[in-house]
Amino acid sequence: MDVEPSNDSNVGTKRRVCLPLELIIEILSRLPVKFLLKFRCACKQWLSLISSPLFIKAHINASTKFKTYVNSFLILKLSKSFYSNTYFTCSISSLLDDTASIIIPRDLDVPIEDQGFKIIGTCNGLLSGLIYPDKTHFLYNPCIRKLNKLPDNGKKYNLLHISYGFCYDEFNDDYKLVDLSTVFPCYTYIEIYSLRANSWRRINDYKRGSFYRSGVAVGGVLYWIVGIGLSQIILLVDTVNYTSRTLALPKYEDFGSVERYFGILDFGGLGVYHEYDKIRMDIWTMKESWMKVLSVPYCVNPIRRHIQPILGLEDVNVFFRKHIQPILGLKDGEVLLYKEKYLMVYNSKKNSFINHQIGEINGRIPWLQSTLFIESLVAPNYEGG
């Protein structure tokens, strides 16, 4: 750092310390968003710095790289009806306390609460959602309170089902929304929205299987588990290259009549979990091939049934158990698990669980809507050149 003496010649001379820009960015990028919003008012130089695309990216990278979870939250929901929802957040850092506790969710302010709406995904601080009854897509950043309603994709066909995915395309510095529209059994239109282009693009249709979950993002790629008869495969939608293809699931052990459940998660890369009902849950990751990295035994857990690991979007398994959703792989061999009113941290090294109960809101317990939400300064509209 540079140190410049002041004009004061007294012994107790105060010195002006000038830190390199890189160091200032490194320090500020580790702070919570609420402090950065205040620091923007300190001077014009800090306003320019904190508002710059360079710093906004550095802040997101720091939030994901250092695994402190200072800016990381889970999103929970209370529903009055299908179109009327109230959302809350729960700090992930509060779940890392090694003592059991009751977690009190805090309100998530969305400026369209007088209308029916639904959050369908999150990415880098942006919420992706639908406004009813017209199903208008929107992007919203609750930290900077900016909302962007997206153009309609113009589809006029009757639908059996729609599934969505939301991700960041780092190669093109773009946010992508994927719409999978099933028009009749085993035939699905795939459309991708680009925030940079502010337009939709239809790619190759998918003509096998059925899926009822939201897509899980790993990089600029979204993944869905697809049911084909009694078997499953993974559908991969590459938003960078506007292509899709399928990928086989890992081979699992056969426990005979034991029921099995599948799901996708981000575990530092593409991962899947495989649950053997009432026995254990295995987590696999894809490098050059599938590799099992963790097993969660249910016999040591006081809440033994219907638990799944989570790091993806809303993942309701309508084939088997509608109330179950997968959450988050933590650092040092820990996994965050969810069941009904409990959030649990499993430590694979100690083979132990810490249970946290979700507190009630107006006499009701909100349920997990979406997984990792990282607070950021990202604008919901394209501001590039």
Q: Which CATH number characterizes residue 204's domain?
A: 2.120.10.80
Residues 22 and 87 both lie in one domain: no
Residues 195 and 137 both lie in one domain: yes
* 65 φ, ψ (degrees, to nearest 5): -75, -45
Residue that finishes a domain, picked among 66, 87, 107: 66
Residue 149 has pLDDT above 90, yes or no: yes
Region 129-147: mean pLDDT is: 90
* 217 φ, ψ (degrees, to nearest 5): -90, 130
Q: Which residue has the higher pLDDT, 285 or 176?
A: 176
**What is the rounded distance in angstroms from the CA atom of residue 244 to the CA atom of residue 235?**
7
Residues 40 and 170 both lie in one domain: no
Chain mean position to CA 170: 16
pLDDT tens digits for 186-245? Answer: 778 899 999 999 999 999 888 877 776 788 888 889 998 887 777 788 899 999 999 999
Is position 7 within any domain?
no
Residues 338 and 326 both lie in one domain: yes
Residues 57 and 166 both lie in one domain: no
Residues 99 and 163 both lie in one domain: yes
Region 336-345: mean pLDDT is: 80
Is position 379 within any domain?
no
**What is the rounded distance in angstroms from the CA atom of residue 132 to the CA atom of residue 126?**
19
Domain extent at residue 348: 67-374
Q: Which residue has the higher pLDDT, 311 or 55?
A: 55
Instruction: Pick the range with the lowest mean pLDDT from 10-24, 118-132, 167-181, 274-288.
Output: 10-24
> With pLDDT > 90 as the criterion, what percentage of the chain qualifies?
24
Q: CB of 238 within 8 A of CB of 221?
A: yes
pLDDT of residue 277: 65
Q: CB of 303 within 8 A of CB of 355?
A: yes
pLDDT tens digits for 268-313? Answer: 677 787 777 666 778 888 878 888 888 877 654 444 444 444 333 2
Domain tally, the chain: 2
Is position 212 within any domain?
yes
Residues 161 and 48 both lie in one domain: no
Residues 74 and 48 both lie in one domain: no
Residue that finishes a domain, picked among 66, 101, 127: 66
Residues 100 and 154 both lie in one domain: yes
Summary mean pLDDT of the chain = 78
Is position 224 within any domain?
yes
pLDDT of residue 109: 82
* 49 φ, ψ (degrees, to nearest 5): -65, -55
Instruction: Pick the range with the lowest mean pLDDT from 83-97, 255-269, 272-286.
Output: 255-269
Is position 6 within any domain?
no
Residue 57 has pLDDT above 90, yes or no: yes
DSSP, collapsed to helix, strand or coil, labels residue 140 as strand
Residues 82 and 49 both lie in one domain: no
Residue 263 has pLDDT above 80, yes or no: no
Residues 75 and 51 both lie in one domain: no
Is position 278 within any domain?
yes
Residues 263 and 124 both lie in one domain: yes
Is position 384 within any domain?
no
